[in-house]
A and B are shown apart, each in its own frame.
Chain A
Amino acid sequence: GIQVEQSPPDLILQEGANSTLRCNFSDSVNNLQWFHQNPWGQLINLFYIPSGTKQNGRLSATTVATERYSLLYISSSQTTDSGVYFCAVGGKLIFGQGTELSVKP
């Protein structure tokens, strides 16, 4: 089956800093999504991005399907950005292990 690897596993930032999260996947896919799981456990869909680049406020994502990776950019981080960021791929949504982000005030 498809393997999904995310890096880094943990990230601590000072408020206002920028960060890049990476997702590598082992096979071509028609579906790639980024999710944020907040400290209350809710899974929020950030981007549906099987290819190309999208932006939503301070967040943007780029997927290079031919090279099997996706990047999530967080600019001017805020404490509310804390939580776990998941990449998931494929029709059955195979999840990576996530990147746990902590933004300090």
Chain B
Amino acid sequence: DAGVIQSPRHEVTEMGQEVTLRCKPISGHNSLFWYRQTMMRGLELLIYFNNNVPIDDSGMPEDRFSAKMPNASFSTLKIQPSEPRDSAVYFCASSLGDELYGYTFGSGTRLTVV
């Protein structure tokens, strides 16, 4: 099993540009989570999906952020337009679901908006 796969590993973009982060969960996992890690706020949940359906997006900071999960093996997190304060490490995690199982994290995408 290759684990949770995120791409790209690093992204540097200019303010105002669109950024798309990608995640492939572990096959068979039915829950997918997007987290953001910053020095100031630590690790915070942005959104999570269960069986490809967004369940809770209350952590999405504002309308510039959107997430999709078109099928069980792929999810995207899009920021448009990007701002310097969006600079952070974005993690994707997956789980078998129902709070009864451990979560596996991807390696993260380090985003820098200049």
Residues of A near any B CB (own CB < 8 A): 30-31, 33, 35, 41-45, 48, 86, 88, 90-98
**A-B pairs with beta carbons under 8 A, tally:** 47
Closest A residue, CB atoms, query B45: A92
User: Which residues of B lie under 8 Å from residue A97 when comparing CB positions?
Assistant: 42
Instruction: Kindly list the 9 A-B residue pairs having the minimum CB-CB distance in the complex, ordered from nearest.
Output: A48-B102, A43-B105, A95-B43, A91-B99, A31-B99, A30-B99, A45-B102, A92-B45, A97-B42
Bound form: Cα–Cα A96–B107 in Å = 19
Name the residue on B nearest A41 (C-beta): B108
Which residues of chain B are near A98, meaning CB under 8 Å? 42
A95 and B102: CB pair below 8 A? no
Closest-by-CB residue of B relative to A47 is B102
Q: Is B100 part of the contact surface with A, judged by Cβ < 8 Å?
A: yes
Chain B: minimal CB distance from A61 (Å): 12
B17-49 near A? 1/0 per residue, CB < 8 Å: 000000000000000010100000011110010
For B100, the chain A residues whose CB sits under 8 A away are 30-31
- Residues of the B chain whose Cβ atoms lie less than 8 Å from the Cβ of A95: 42-44
Q: Are A94 and B103 in contact (CB under 8 A)?
A: no
A60 to B93, CA, bound (A): 23
Shortest Cβ distance from B84 into chain A, in angstroms?
20
Q: In the assembly, what is the distance between CA of A30 and CA of B95, in Å?
A: 14
B71-108 residues with Cβ-Cβ distance < 8 A to A are 89, 91, 93, 98-105, 107-108
B45 contacts A94, CB within 8 Å?
Answer: yes
**Do the beta carbons of A48 and B45 come within 8 Å of each other?**
no
User: For the complex, what is the distance from the CA of A21 to the CA of B114, rounded to whole Å?
Assistant: 37
CB contact between A93 and one of B45, B98, B107, B110 (< 8 Å): that residue: B45
